[in-house]
Amino acid sequence: EVQLVESGGGLIQPGESLRLACAVSGFSVTTNYMTWVRQAPGKGLEWVSVIYKNGYSQYVDSVKGRFTISRDNSKNTVNLEMNNLRAEDTAVYFCARDIVGPNYYYTSLGMDVWGQGTAVTVSS
């Protein structure tokens, strides 16, 4: 069964760090593009980061330099290391499988499998 399970969320103070994990079953993270999407309370969806099959990664400008996406091939997990957290990073973070077009540059057909999300609250 294809399943994504996120963990690691919680309440954290501004400036601190947090590491989210996404445990994947039913397919391999090494042969798929994996994405993190977040949703602030009562708001819409915001794409955050992607890790390519070859390990290359990209980020939305608002998290660049603070967030790092990675994967553990042996555990079939995708991680999101979040540093120097800000109040505006407060959101539910979803891990998802991204279906990418057959082009040199990233094009997306959207995310076809999603986890249940993990909530991150940044507040003093």
Binding residues for other proteins, rule: CB under 8 A, are 37, 44-47, 58, 60-61, 94, 99, 101-103, 105-112, 114-117
Under a CB-based contact definition with an 8 Å cutoff, are residues 8 and 21 in contact? yes
The position carrying tokens 């091939």 is 73
Q: Which is nearer to other proteins, 54 or 102 (CB)?
A: 102
Residue 97 Cβ, how far from other proteins at the closest point, in Å?
10
Residue 116 Cβ, how far from other proteins at the closest point, in Å?
6
Q: Which is nearer to other proteins, 16 or 112 (CB)?
A: 112
Q: Which is nearer to other proteins, 10 or 110 (CB)?
A: 110
Residue 107 Cβ, how far from other proteins at the closest point, in Å?
5
Under a CB-based contact definition with an 8 Å cutoff, are residues 34 and 112 in contact? no
Q: Which is nearer to other proteins, 52 or 114 (CB)?
A: 114
Under a CB-based contact definition with an 8 Å cutoff, are residues 81 and 120 in contact? no
Query: How is residue 78 written in tokens?
Result: 């995708």
Q: How far is CA 47 from the centre of its chain?
A: 9
**Among residues 37, 75, 30, 76, which one has the least CA distance to residue 55?**
30
